[in-house]
Amino acid sequence: MPGTPAVTSAAPVAAPAASPSPPIGRIGGATTAPAWLGTRTLPVRPNGFAAARRTPPELRNRSIVTVDDLPPPADGGFHSTIEAVPASVLARSTWTRDCPVTATDLRYVTVGFRGFDGRAHTGELLVNARAADAMVEVFGELFAEGFPIERMRVTSSAELDAPPTGDGNTTAVFACRPVRGQKAWSQHAYGLAVDVNPFQNPYHKGDVVLPELATSYLERGDVRAGMIRPRGPVVRAFASVGWRWGGDYRSLKDFMHFSANGG
């Protein structure tokens, strides 16, 4: 593990406040979220997953204005920070003493990202200390490429345990949970995996689709903004730091997922 974490440039690290109401209308080709987004819970089946649903018309070409959780960069450029995880951030994350990494194994990382609205925003991640520099490098490349990301925020226990709504789209790294449908720890629980734009890049195995309303995005030939493509900029950026893509899995497809060990 690295020693004292480095801070690469100034950016806010305070816990995000409650998100304000999004601006009304269209910004840079993106529109405000439907009023019902995140409010319609889905019944869970005996297998532990909700059934896949047809994508609502409003989300078939999902391009939603980012509501800032952290102050955006004043100069519209890319900025990043790496530091030990503040106690306030750890408290609102999914980390507990039962997780397979200690709190000191993690770093609090902020990076710039480009929203679907074309604007620069500030995102936050909890990342394994061994991967913090690599994540800054990757998201710096994606910012330069103009690849759009809707939201980037540390996952909370409330979000992890909430009943599914099938419409989430938060880019995140650390989540102290097992592999889907298994008991072994996910690479997310080590801070060594990231999910990018889950709605545009769903998980698919058999009759399980996650998020459940993202079924239209299983049509990978219908290329829309925010989708991860083979040999595209996102795959190339993660490959440059040695991380592999879940879209290359054979037994299932996890188009949102990148990890340090390919798992």
pLDDT at 182 over 90: no
Average pLDDT of the residues of the chain: 91
How many other β-carbons are positioned within 10 Å of the β-carbon of residue 160? 12
- pTM metric for this prediction: 0.90
What region, left, alpha or beta, does residue 257 occupy, with left being phi > 0 and alpha being psi -120 to 50 degrees? beta
C-beta separation of 44 from 163 below 8 A: yes
Average pLDDT over residues 142-157: 97
pLDDT band at 16 (very low <50, low <70, confident <90, very high): low
Comparing C-alpha atoms, which of 202, 194, 195 is closest to residue 167? 202
Tell me how far the alpha carbon of residue 221 is from its chain's centroid.
22
pLDDT band at 179 (very low <50, low <70, confident <90, very high): confident
How many other β-carbons are positioned within 10 Å of the β-carbon of residue 76? 10
Q: What percent of the chain has pLDDT over 90?
A: 85
C-beta separation of 59 from 213 below 8 A: yes
pLDDT at 20 over 80: no
Element (H, E) at 125: strand 120-128
Tell me the per-residue pLDDT of 118-146, one tens digit each, with 9 for 90 and over: 999 999 999 999 999 999 999 999 999 99
Query: In the prediction, which pLDDT does 21 show?
Result: 40
Average pLDDT over residues 23-29: 67
Give me the residue spans of the domains in the chain: 71-259
DSSP states of 41-87 as a string?
Answer: --PBPTTSSBPP-PPPGGGTT--BPPPPSSPPPTTSS--EEEEEPPH
Query: In the prediction, which pLDDT does 2 show?
Result: 37
pLDDT at 7 over 60: no
Average pLDDT over residues 30-58: 96
Distance of alpha carbon 91 from alpha carbon 21, whole angstroms: 25
pLDDT at 106 over 70: yes
